Amino acid sequence: MKQGEVVVLLISDAGTPGIGGPDAELLCMDENIPVTPIPGPCGVVSALSASGLATNEYTFVGFLPRHGPSRKERLMASANEARTQIFYVLPHKFSQSLKEFSSLFGVSRYIWHILIV
């Protein structure tokens, strides 16, 4: 793959490849080899399978509360979470959300994103 050959198709009869199984250790992201999932009925799982983030345990948070104490409370719970977390963020709120995440989560957290407009 690193020599530019078009190669791999990974198919599984046990769920989405790259999510929690031994194939999650494929080192494509570490080697800068692009991964293109073919989405199924769950966009979250498709994105996670191509992210290079840990897939053995993850949390789907979805959309956060709009504002107020409940939003901050949910973000504080996420700040203490070690598992990969998946948030839905509206495109026009993306920049604001990144600032909010980094201020509460600190600089040691990795943020991988897909922006769908």
Residue range 82-94, pLDDT digits in tens: 899 989 888 888 8
Cα(89)–Cα(97) distance, rounded to whole angstroms? 7
For domain 22-105, the CATH architecture is: 2-Layer Sandwich (3.30)
The DSSP 8-state label assigned to residue 64 in this structure reads P
Mean pLDDT of 20-28: 65
Model's pTM, two decimal places? 0.65
Report which of 90, 89, 71 is spatially closest to residue 79, judged by C-alpha positions.
71
Nearest residue to 61 via CA among 43, 38, 85, 81: 85
| % the chain with pLDDT above 70 | 74
pLDDT at position 117: 47
Q: CA-CA distance, 104 to 98, in Å (whole number)?
A: 10
Collect contacts of 14-17 with beta carbons under 8 A, ≥24 apart.
16/40, 16/42, 16/45, 16/46, 16/49, 17/49
Residue ranges per structural domain of the chain: 22-105
What's the CA gap between 50 and 16, in Å, rounded?
Answer: 10
Q: What percent of the chain has pLDDT over 90?
A: 8
